[in-house]
Structure 1
Amino acid sequence: MFTGIIEETGVLKKVHKGAHSALLTLQGDVIFDDLEIGDSVSVNGVCLTVSGLSSHTFQADVMHETLNRSCLGRLHSGDFVNLERAMAADGRFGGHIVSGHIDGIGTITSVRRDDNAIWYTIAAEERILRYIVEKGSIALDGISLTVASVNNTEFRISAIPHTVKSTTLSYKKAGDPVNLENDLIGKYMEKLLLPVPDKPQSGGITREFLAKSGY
């Protein structure tokens, strides 16, 4: 599990592409203090497992499903990436619950400065937007951000200078793709409220009951 508080921006040093997979070699500094083979690292919001390790580089395999769901397959050598180690049990929880499992890809449609903040507008599919709520949390390329507004086609976030400077947001422009992970809570709630297939409802709390009760 991650928190969406980026520890550093690393560099993608090498990409070795297979038929439907990839092996990434990434370089960093901060996260190597206690990094070991088998550890989980969030790379632009994607949970990857360290399969090879040297002084300031690590390797990670990316499978077919991950390439289809995320922007990792679009990265090139020299690109900057957001890096975060998995949260320690005694660590400070500064962001929100981030699993590192990407729901889909969004596209930045505009970047606008507003005094000391920068507004990013991101277009996304309806299946992703349905779980995004105003003032809720969203992980954008692994960065824990607060949603400022949302409609049927896009959502907006406003980032402070520290967040922009400390992440790959500083390099983003209109037209760039980004990895999106919805807040887990909304997805779990929807799943639990849906009826079990081929099993009739027998009282208890249902969607109809909640609607009649004003929820």
Structure 2
Amino acid sequence: MFTGIVERLGRVRRIDRSGEAAILDMETGYSDLALGESVAVDGACLTVAEGSEASFARFFVSHETLARTTLGELSVGSAANLERSASLSTRLSGHLVQGHVDGVGEIERITARGESTELVLALPADIYRYCVEKGSIAVSGISLTLNTVSAPQADGRFRIGLNIIPHTWTATTLQHARPASRVNIEVDVMAKYVERLCQPYLKP
């Protein structure tokens, strides 16, 4: 479990595609990662498979993760948002994030709004029902607030508006964002549980 508060930017040292899976080597900046520990990499929960030296970690990326996230698009030198798993004493400054990516979104527009930055993203329509104005969403592992949510369009996607404060912009991979950049999306898991619990009462 994570909070969506990015702790640092990692850097890809090597990525080896082996069959349908991949081995990802990263400079993490963490000196004490334990074997088997969970780390969110651009919002996807990965397990530390090896850490032979300070600030280095190796992750195994399964075919499922490659198919559902943008991790397969990383290359040597790419930056990635990193967050270690939360403990019971962690402050929940963001929201509950599992590191289980629900879909991939695309940045359509980036607009400066004073010192902040406004993003408009296009997301797959099948997660629309979990998104509400002023609710929470994780974008590449970053806990953000939904400012606007538009209805799905003919292209099978819907749009959300996000406001990014200066710190979040400079401390995460959003600083490298461009129109057409793809990002990992995780909706608030609480909305999924509410939907499942209500289903028996909503059937005609």
Q: Which residue of 2 aligns with 1:5?
A: 5
Residue correspondence of structure 1 range 31-42 to structure 2 within 5 A: 31-32=30-31, 34-42=32-40
Letter in 2 for 1:61: F
Q: Are residues 1:159 and 2:147 paired?
A: no
**Unaligned ranges ≥5, structure 2:** 152-157
Q: How does 1:1-215 map to 2 (within 5 A)?
A: 1-29=1-29, 31-32=30-31, 34-53=32-51, 54-152=53-151, 153-195=158-200, 206-207=201-202
3-state DSSP of counterpart to 1:162: helix
Say how many residue pairs are matched. 197
CA deviation map 1:151-189 (0-9, x unaligned): 122101000000001000000010000000000011111
Aligned-partner Cα distance in 2 for 1:129–1:17: 33
Point out the structure with max Rg over C-alpha.
Answer: 1
Query: How far apart are the structure 2 equivalents of 1:96 and 1:107?
Result: 22
TM-score w.r.t. length of structure 1: 0.89
Deviations 1:31-84 (A, max 9, x none): 33x311110000000000000102111000010111111000111111000000
Q: CA deviation at 1:28?
A: 2.2
Whole-angstrom distance in 2 between the partners of 1:140 and 1:115: 22
State the Cα distance separating 1:207 from its structure 2 match.
2.2
- Answer 1 or 2: which has greater strand percent: 2
2:76 aligned counterpart, secondary structure = coil
**Secondary structure of 1:73's partner?**
helix
State the Cα distance separating 1:208 from its structure 2 match. Answer: 6.5
In the TM superposition, residue 129 of structure 1 has moved relative to its aligned partner by 2.0
RMSD: 1.2
Distance 1:173 1:110 in 2: 8
Q: Secondary structure of 2:130's partner?
A: coil
CA distance in structure 2 between the partners assigned to 1:175 and 1:6 by the alignment: 22
TM-score (structure 2 length as normaliser): 0.94
Contact 1:17 1:23 in 2 (8 A): yes
Give the aligned residue type for 2:174. Answer: L
- Is the 8 Å Cα contact of residues 129 and 154 (structure 1) preserved in structure 2? no
Structure 1 gap segments, 5+ residues each: 196-205, 210-215
Any runs of at least 4 consecutive aligned residues in structure 1 with deviations exceeding 3 A, and if so which? none
- In 1, the alpha carbon distance for the partners of 2:58 and 2:13 equals 10
Secondary structure of the residue aligned to 1:123 is strand
Q: Distance in 1 between matches of 2:12 and 2:119?
A: 24
Q: Measure, in 2, the Cα distance between the counterparts of 1:131 and 1:58.
A: 34
Q: Percent identity?
A: 39
Alignment CA distance shift 1:208-1:61 (3 Å): closer
